[in-house]
Every structure is written in structure tokens, then in C-alpha cells.
Amino acid sequence: MTSPPATVTAAYIDATGPADVIRVGALPTPVPGDGEVLVRTQAIGVNHVDTFVRSGAYPTPLTFPFVIGRDAVGTVAAVGTGVAGFLAGDAVWCNSLGHGGRQGPSATYTIVAAERLYPLPAGVDPVAAAAVLHTGATAHLGLFREARLRAGETVVVGGAAGGVGSAVVQIAAEAGARVIAVARSEQVPWCRSSGAQEVLDRRAPDLIGRLHKAAPDGIDVYWDTSGHHDLEQVVPLLAPRGRVILMAGLDAHPTLPVGTLYTRDASLRGFALSNATTDELADTAAALNSLLAGGTLRAGQVQALPLSQAPHAHALLENGRATGRLVLLP
């Protein structure tokens, strides 16, 4: 194994702001300290949260220059002291950098605390994995920690062909739920191939009436990933003890029909993956690894761009022009 170069090529910011504050250039190669691993990156995921951190919309402690991003797949380049379980050359991944004072991974090499690093199963393509690490972890945490999903329950997924939506459909179906997807009509084949038993066209009239018909005994888990929440219409559709998952829509202020909610013993469950503990992330990683190895967790289309196009990737996400899951290639 050759030793790492003195500098890395990184996508970083010196202050929060719009996508064009991202610079791509040389920074000193970080040296792994106690409990840390230096990873040579192969594929770096780009997600909405990366744009929120970069713009300052999602405040979190940052030190500048701040390397952007959160998720990466790569190989171990060097290990610091006190690290067990990782050797140079191992295929690995991480999906919790770039938050809470941690630098992001959008560089040719990145430092990861060993407790946030996981092995990549043999045979899993790094780009395909990077495309679903953030969305898969979100779906897994939301379905099992928050919704406490059980086999046989009815799950409705809004934005079902999006990143998180696809992962929720795939993981809920794998867990034995009956999944009703809400998406555009041209996304029906993808939603069905992900495991949805029924797909409702989000643009056809009377979605609420059609949801009621599709789930006459009530919805156990309602998860709209689009950030649009009409709780006045949705809460009456819930089954007793139904759960609404809230994790998108930073500025949404929906009206809540309180009596309809509590007389069903129903609940709202909000969460952010950023707050997950390292133990929760490790449990989620083990589950994601088996879903990745089994081919259950997968992206539809992946748009891979060179690391040098990181500003363009953020702009694509922000103007809704990405044609699939975005991945940067160092």
C-alpha cells in the first residue's frame, strides 16, 4: 500500500452560503488520531442535508475550511492508534460525517472515527452503495425505531420514488408490510419493483379518497417524504395506534386535528438521522449491509459526477434538476 499524498483534493467551504461558495482544491491530508481511520474515498453521496448544512439552514458546529458532505464509500488507507477491526485496504463506508463538528468526506481522503465506520459487504458496488446509505439509514431508523413497524401493517409512503421514499418502500416491504406508494404515474414500475403492492398517482384527483379506499381499515404508518404535510386530511385516515412519521419540511406549519389524533391513540413521530447515537448507527449499518448484500436496498437512477462538480451537484439538488441519486467520484 502506498502512503497517502501530502494534500487531498477536497470540496469545502470557508463560510456558509449558496452552492457557489463551494471551492474544490487542495487541503492538507488529515492524519488519523487515536480511534480514527484514514479512508481513501471512492464514491461520496450527495443529499439534501448536505445543502442545508452548506447554506446554514441546518445549524451545526462547523470549523472552516469545512469539507462538505456526509456519506462516503472507500478503502482504509491508514489506521490511528487504538483502532481494532480495520486493516489497510478494507472496503468501508460511513454515513455520519459533516455534522456536529465532524468534517465531511467530500475529498480524496477523509478521516472517520472507527465507531462510525462499517465494512462494505463483498460484491457491493461503491457507487450503488453511496447512493443509498443516507436514505437507507433514514428509512430503517424511521420504520423500526420510530414507527416500530410490524409485519402485516399498512404503510403509506409519499414521495415514494424519491431517495428516502424508495428506501422506505423497499425496507417496509422486506419487513412484511403492505406498502401503498404515492408517486407520479410514470414512477409506478419503479415503486412496484421496490415492493409496493399498490401505487397511487399523486397528481390524479381525490388522493385522500383513494387512500381511504386502498386502506379501508386504516393506515398504520403514514410517511410523506416530500415535506408537504396535510395532517387535517391524513390523521382521519389512520388506524388505531397509527403513526405519522415527520422528517422533512423544515418550514412546514401544518394544522393538527388534535382530537382526531388522540382518540385513535395515534401519534406523530419526528426524527433527524443526525441525532442518532453511534450505537443506533451501528445497528442500522448492520441492517443496511444485509439489505445491500441481498440487493434489496438499491437506487433507481444514479447520476455520478466528478468531485470537481460538487457545486453543480448541490445546485442540481436545490433546483430539483437531479436525474437520480447524486454521487461524487473523487
Ligand X SMILES: NC(=O)c1ccc[n+]([C@@H]2O[C@H](COP(=O)([O-])OP(=O)(O)OC[C@H]3O[C@@H](n4cnc5c(N)ncnc54)[C@H](OP(=O)(O)O)[C@@H]3O)[C@@H](O)[C@H]2O)c1
| Residues 166, 299 contacting (CB under 8 angstroms) | yes
**Which residues from 137-196 bind ligand X, rule CB under 6 A?**
138, 158-159, 161-165, 184
| Residues 177, 151 contacting (CB under 8 angstroms) | yes
For residues 324 and 303, what is the distance between their CA atoms, to the nearest angstrom? Answer: 6
State which residue, 25 or 324, has the beta carbon closest to ligand X: 324
- Figure out which of the listed residues 252, 258, 272, 286 binds ligand X, where binding follows CB under 6 A: 272
**Which residues from 110-129 bind ligand X, rule CB under 6 A?**
none
Under the binding rule (CB under 6 A), the answer on residue 215 touching ligand X is: no
How far are the Cα atoms of 50, 113, 131, 288 from residue 223, in angstroms, in the given order? 22, 32, 21, 20
The residue count for the chain? 330
Q: Which three cell numbers stand for residue 104?
A: 465531511
- Figure out which of the listed residues 108, 135, 289, 309 binds ligand X, where binding follows CB under 6 A: 135
DSSP per residue over 134-197, as a string? HHHHHHHIIIIIIS---TT-EEEEETTTSHHHHHHHHHHHHTT-EEEEEE-GGGHHHHHHHT-S
State which residue, 38 or 248, has the beta carbon closest to ligand X: 248
Closest contact distance (angstroms) between CB of 133 and ligand X is 11
Closest contact distance (angstroms) between CB of 248 and ligand X is 3
Closest contact distance (angstroms) between CB of 47 and ligand X is 6
Under the binding rule (CB under 6 A), the answer on residue 54 touching ligand X is: no
For residues 224 and 181, what is the distance between their CA atoms, to the nearest angstrom? Answer: 10
| SS3 sequence of 166-181 | HHHHHHHHHCCCEEEE
Under the binding rule (CB under 6 A), the answer on residue 226 touching ligand X is: yes
| Biggest CA pair distance of the chain | 65
Closest contact distance (angstroms) between CB of 81 and ligand X is 33
Closest contact distance (angstroms) between CB of 135 and ligand X is 6
Closest contact distance (angstroms) between CB of 209 and ligand X is 17
Closest contact distance (angstroms) between CB of 178 and ligand X is 20
State which residue, 49 or 239, has the beta carbon closest to ligand X: 49
Under the binding rule (CB under 6 A), the answer on residue 69 touching ligand X is: no
Under the binding rule (CB under 6 A), the answer on residue 60 touching ligand X is: no
* Number of chain positions touching ligand X (CB under 6 A): 23
Contact region with ligand X (CB under 6 A), list: 26-34, 69-77, 85-93, 222-230: 222-230
Under the binding rule (CB under 6 A), the answer on residue 273 touching ligand X is: yes
Under the binding rule (CB under 6 A), the answer on residue 202 touching ligand X is: yes
**Which residues from 288-307 bind ligand X, rule CB under 6 A?**
none
Residue with the CB atom nearest ligand X in the bound state? 162
Under the binding rule (CB under 6 A), the answer on residue 70 touching ligand X is: no
Give residues with Cβ within 8 angstroms of 206, minimum separation 6: none
For residues 157 and 176, what is the distance between their CA atoms, to the nearest angstrom? Answer: 15
Give residues with Cβ within 8 angstroms of 46, minimum separation 6: 69, 310, 313, 314, 317, 326, 327, 328
State which residue, 8 or 246, has the beta carbon closest to ligand X: 246
State which residue, 135 or 170, has the beta carbon closest to ligand X: 135
Instruction: Kindly compute the dihedral angle of the four CA atoms of residues 17, 133, 96, 246, in this order, to the nearest 10 degrees.
Output: 70
For residues 42 and 59, what is the distance between their CA atoms, to the nearest angstrom? Answer: 28
Which residues here bind ligand X, judged by CB under 6 A? 47-49, 134-135, 138, 158-159, 161-165, 184, 202, 225-228, 247-248, 272-273
